[in-house]
Amino acid sequence: MAMQTQAGDPGAFAHFDLNRVSSPAFVVDEMAVRRNLAVLKDVGTRGGARVLLALKAFSMWSLADVVGEYLDGVCASGLWEARLAREFYRGELTTYSPAYKAQDLPEILRLSDHVIFNSPDQIARFADIIADARAQGQVFEIGLRLNPEHSEGAVAKYDPAQPCSRLGFPLSQLTPEHMRGIDGLHIHALCEQDFAPLSRIWAAVEPKLAPLLGGVKWLNLGGGHHVTRADYQIDDLVAFLQDIQQRHGVQAYLEPGEAVALDAGILIGEVLETFDNGMAIGITDISATCHMPDVIEAPYRPALLGEQQDGVTMRLGGPSCLAGDIIGDYVFAERPVVGTRIAFLDQAHYSMVKTNTFNGVPLPAIALWNSQTDALTMVREFDYSEFRDRLS
């Protein structure tokens, strides 16, 4: 089953000159990011929750100070993201990984405020490392990720609560003994969803969890909350956060990733070649494989800036040798010619962090735009060395 595009509002990009940057290039609108951050800050303030940016979705650290103006910190998925967090971002740092390497854990414990483990066995196995870190005066809290065993995901491979999931300790197996030394619990079972699935998950787990929450300081509700989407039920979320904190005496955390950068960036490309083979074909310098891998992995069809209802349909694909490097079929008012600039919407999250240089395809540049002042800064341009230096 394919994922449906949840966003795709061009916003101020409807008026952006696609020729202002080199191609290919990500362009992120700082004002759009700020609008998203303001919504999330409001939820945190009114709901009494602490809100962290999930770096796995959006780690454009040139905006780290902007993020710090609104949110309480960031969350990392392992050692390298934790290092990035402490190098550029401010506030709290929560780190969770399905598994840790023993040689990485001392630094992760030193860098992080919360370290969340995937099972009680992991915590027990690393007890000596945890004790050594605390003996050295390091201050951190230990969390346990739970699998709520309640599935709300529409697509199995994006559902952390899918059958036989590797993510989180099954709630049905949790005992009071497992809770010894646990400061907080983590439940992440959403993907691009609104409030109702969260409410149903909590209704399913609360009766089983409530008796075990006595010594728990915090409850991290993970990510997947599409809070900044126009139709999200924000007031319901605020009331929910207030309620669970009041009744259970815990500090609630949210870890939005995609919501921070929703509809905040585009990926600009150029048509390199056109021909006909059963339909009009266009080869672009944007590769689904290299620049938007979720187009193939999810799969989904990214929205095209300015796509028409009627006209000429052209299949767009990338320059790599992979037969499946197909972005999708799009309708243009007139058949695009070589040199035509195009842009795909809502590419700031996940696309930028997943780019690769398969086939020696160049990485897109990264530009920061302010739609209010029209200031444009080329933050990063990549060259051959990026490809060479990841090989040997």
pLDDT tens by residue, 270-279: 999 999 999 9
Determine, yes or no, domain membership for 219: yes
Determine, yes or no, domain membership for 123: yes
> Residue 5's pLDDT is what?
55
- Other Cβ atoms less than 10 A from the Cβ of 268: the count is 27
Are residues 113 and 94 in contact, defined by beta-carbon separation less than 8 angstroms? Answer: yes
- Looking at the fold, whether 269 and 252 belong to one and the same domain comes out as no
- Looking at the fold, whether 115 and 248 belong to one and the same domain comes out as yes
Distance CA 185, CA 40 (A): 21
Q: Which of 237, 150, 146 is nearest to 200 (CA)?
A: 150
DSSP 266: E
DSSP 270: E
Distance CA 303, CA 289 (A): 17
Q: Which domain holds residue 299?
A: 11-27+265-347+355-388
The domain tally of the chain equals: 2
Distance CA 352, CA 78 (A): 18
Determine, yes or no, domain membership for 38: no
> Residue 2's pLDDT is what?
53
- Looking at the fold, whether 242 and 368 belong to one and the same domain comes out as no
Which of the pair, 257 or 153, is modelled with greater confidence?
A: 257
Determine, yes or no, domain membership for 296: yes
Distance CA 43, CA 50 (A): 9
Of the three residues 246, 261, 276, the one that is the final residue of a domain is 261
Of the three residues 261, 286, 304, the one that is the final residue of a domain is 261
According to DSSP, the β-strands at 141-147 and 169-170 are: parallel
Q: Do you know the residue count of the chain?
A: 392
Are residues 298 and 2 in contact, defined by beta-carbon separation less than 8 angstroms? Answer: yes
> Residue 153's pLDDT is what?
83
Distance CA 160, CA 233 (A): 22
Q: Phi-psi category of 192—alpha, beta or left, where left has phi over 0 and alpha has psi -120 to 50?
A: left
pLDDT higher than threshold 90 for residue 60? yes
- Looking at the fold, whether 307 and 212 belong to one and the same domain comes out as no
> Residue 4's pLDDT is what?
56
Determine, yes or no, domain membership for 339: yes
CATH number for the domain that contains residue 337:
2.40.37.10
Average pLDDT over residues 331-352: 97
The model's pLDDT over 127-184, given as tens digits with 9 standing for 90+, comes to 999 999 999 999 999 999 999 999 998 888 889 999 999 999 999 999 999 999 999 9
CA 349 to centroid of chain Cα atoms: 6
- Looking at the fold, whether 289 and 248 belong to one and the same domain comes out as no
pLDDT higher than threshold 90 for residue 373? yes
Determine, yes or no, domain membership for 42: no
Mean pLDDT (the chain, rounded): 96
- Other Cβ atoms less than 10 A from the Cβ of 222: the count is 24
Average pLDDT over residues 8-30: 95
- Looking at the fold, whether 281 and 239 belong to one and the same domain comes out as no
Distance CA 205, CA 212 (A): 11
- Looking at the fold, whether 211 and 295 belong to one and the same domain comes out as no
> Residue 37's pLDDT is what?
98
- Looking at the fold, whether 250 and 288 belong to one and the same domain comes out as no
CATH number for the domain that contains residue 175:
3.20.20.10
Distance between first and last Cα of the chain: 38
- Looking at the fold, whether 105 and 157 belong to one and the same domain comes out as yes
- Looking at the fold, whether 172 and 314 belong to one and the same domain comes out as no
Distance CA 171, CA 184 (A): 14
Q: Which of 388, 310, 379 is nearest to 88 (CA)?
A: 379
Of the three residues 240, 261, 282, the one that is the final residue of a domain is 261
Q: Which of 60, 61, 22 is nearest to 362 (CA)?
A: 22
Determine, yes or no, domain membership for 32: no
Confidence of residue 328 (pLDDT cuts 50, 70, 90): very high
- What is the full DSSP assignment across 212-241? G-TT--EEE--S-B-TTSTT--HHHHHHHH
- Looking at the fold, whether 239 and 336 belong to one and the same domain comes out as no
What's the burial of 273, exposed, middle or buried (CB within 10 Å: 0-12/13-18/19+)?
A: exposed
- Looking at the fold, whether 22 and 142 belong to one and the same domain comes out as no
CA 163 to centroid of chain Cα atoms: 23
Determine, yes or no, domain membership for 271: yes
> Residue 9's pLDDT is what?
84
The model's pLDDT over 22-45, given as tens digits with 9 standing for 90+, comes to 999 999 999 999 999 999 999 999
Amino acid present at 183: D
What does R_g of the chain's alpha carbons equal in angstroms? 22
